[in-house]
Amino acid sequence: MASERSQAEVLYQILPALYRQRDNGDLRDYCEAAGQLLDRIDATLVQRLADNFPDNPLDGSSACQEWLIPYFADLLDVRLVSPLAEGRRDEVANAVRWRQGKGTLQVAEEIAQAVGRLEVVLHEGWRRVAVTPRLDMPRLPARSFGYAQELPEAPPSLAARHPGLPAVTVDFRCPGGAVAAAVSNPAAQQSNIDGDTRSWRQSGHHGAPCQPDSYQDSSLRSVDFRTPDWHRGHYHPDRILLYTLPPAGRFDPSAETVAWSEDPDTAFLQRIEVIAGDNITTFRNRSWGGDDFVPVNISGVILLGQEADGVGDADYHRWIFQGVNLLDMLQADSGRIELRDCAAMRVEVHSIDYERPVVSARGCLINDLQAARGVSQLEYCTVLDSTLSEILYASETIFLGTIRKHHLPLAAPDIGCLRYCRIRHDQSLGGMRMVRSTRAAPVFYSTHFGRRGCGVLHPATPAAIRHGAEDGGEMGVHHDDHPGLLAEAVAEKLKDFLPLGMEAVVIPDPTLLEMPG
C-alpha cells in the first residue's frame, strides 16, 4: 500500500526550512510535479509486489489483480467457482491446507465462509437418520453433549432423555432447540450473526423441535431419497447440511439513518459526501465503492428541481445518488435523477423529455417509479410496485407490478425495449419490444420495502430468473452481489472436498437471526 503522505509532500518537507520559508509557491509546485511521477512509480512497485501473492491481505494493503488469479490457480490445480474476486483468492491461498483436511467439517465450514461469504451451521446427514440400536454401538456421555452432569439410570422416564440414545420417537415432555452456552462448554458452537458472535449449544435432543427443519432441529428421520434442494432431500447419510443466514440485501442491519435537509447537518456530511459541479449534484455514500460498503438510510421527503434550488439549467441538471437508501419519496420537478446501488421508496420525476432518460438507475431496488412524461432507463433493478413511464428501456430488471405509460390501467408504453427482464403474466406489451424476457413468477425473502431480505431472490425462484441475465447471473437488484450464485458455488466447491458420493445442501434458515447467546 502506498504511503499515507504523497511523495510531493515528502520531497517538500525534506528540503531545508530556509528554502520553504522563502518559497512563493513555485518550489512547492515543482515538488508536486516530481511527486506525481514518484507516486506512480511507488504505486507500480507496490502493485508488483502484491501481484506475487494470491491471498487477500489482512492489513488492507493492495491485493493481486483479478486477471492473475486463474494463473495462480493453474499452478496449484485449483478449480475456481466463486463469483467474487475475494473468494477466488481464498480458493487459491487455502488450496493446499484444504486438501490436507479434505472431508473434515472444519474445511467444509471454511469453504462456505471463504467461497460464499456465508455464515453456516453444519449438520451431518448421517446423524439425522434413524438407525436401529446395536449392542456394539457405544453411548457417548451426556457431558459431551453439553450437560453439566451425567443423567441417572433411574427412573426410566429420566434415563430415556439421555442425548446419546438413538431414540427416534419425539419426547413431547420437553422442547428441543438451541440455548445459550458458555464458550467453555464441550458442546458449544460459535456463530457470527450480523457481526455479533454468539455461543450456543443444542438442547433437548429427543424433545419436540421448536423450529422443525431448521438448524435447531436435531430429531431423527427416515431416509429421504429425493434429490436434495433447499427444502427436501436433507435426511440422508450422504448429505451434509449447511444452514445459512438469508442475505440482508439493501437493508443491512448495520446501516445508519440520517435526516434529509436542504442544509445538511454534520451527521449527514459525516456519512454522505455532497459534490456540486457544473449542472450536476452528487450525494455519495462515503463507503460506496469500498470493501466495507454499508448503505446509509436517508429519511424524509426529498424535493429537487424547484426554482429555489438555484441550479444552472434546471431542465438538464443531474441529481445523482450513490449507495444510499431513500426511505421516503424522491421527487424532481425538473432535471434528471440518477441512482446507483440505491433503494428508493418512491421516485417521481416531472421532467419532459422523450429522447434522453429523466430517470436512470443501476443496481437499485425501487418500490414505485413514475416518470409520466419522460424516458426511464433501468439496468439490474427490481421494481416492487408499479412502473409509470412514457418510454421504458430496461435490461436484467424484475418488474413485479404493472408497466404503464399513464394512469390508465392497460396503457403500456408505445416505445421501449425489455431485454432479459421479468414482467407480470398479464402485462400488455403495447409498443415495447421484449427480448429473451420471461413471465415466470419470482420468489423473494420479502417484498416489504425496508425489511431485511427485501428484493433478494429465494432459492425457490425459477431458473429463468435466477440465471436469466445475459451473463448467466440473476436478474434484479442483486445481480452484482451474486447471493444465489454464492450458495451454488459453495455446493459446487464442496464436491472436491467431501468423501465420494456425499453432497452438500445449502439451506436458508431465517431462525438463525434469533439465535440465542
Between CA 109 and CA 114 the distance in angstroms is 9
Residue 193: its pLDDT value, please? 87
Low-confidence ranges of the chain (pLDDT < 50): 1-3, 308
Q: Which residues contact 258 (CB under 8 A, 6 or more apart)?
A: 267, 268, 271, 272, 296, 297, 298, 299
Between CA 141 and CA 403 the distance in angstroms is 63
Between CA 54 and CA 43 the distance in angstroms is 18
Do residues 444 and 478 make contact, with C-beta atoms less than 8 angstroms apart?
Answer: no
Q: Are strands 196-203 and 171-180 parallel, antiparallel or unpaired?
A: antiparallel
Q: Which residues contact 172 (CB under 8 A, 6 or more apart)?
A: 207, 208
Between CA 416 and CA 438 the distance in angstroms is 16
For residue 311, the one-letter residue type is V
Domain segments of the chain: what residues? 7-50, 66-115, 120-247+485-514, 257-480
Angle at 439 between CA 435 and CA 445, to 5 degrees: 120
Q: pTM for the whole thing?
A: 0.86
Ordered strands of the 207-209 beta sheet: 189-193, 196-203, 171-180, 207-209
Angle at 106 between CA 101 and CA 110, to 5 degrees: 100
Q: Which three cell numbers stand for residue 218?
A: 436435531
Q: Are strands 318-322 and 336-340 parallel, antiparallel or unpaired?
A: parallel
Of 494, 485, 510, 498, nearest in space to 82 by CA:
485
Of 320, 480, 317, nearest in space to 396 by CA:
480
Residue 2: its pLDDT value, please? 40
Residue 312: its pLDDT value, please? 53
Angle at 263 between CA 262 and CA 269, to 5 degrees: 110
Do residues 231 and 244 make contact, with C-beta atoms less than 8 angstroms apart?
Answer: no
Per-residue pLDDT tens over the stretch 406-441? 876 667 888 899 999 999 999 988 889 999 999 999
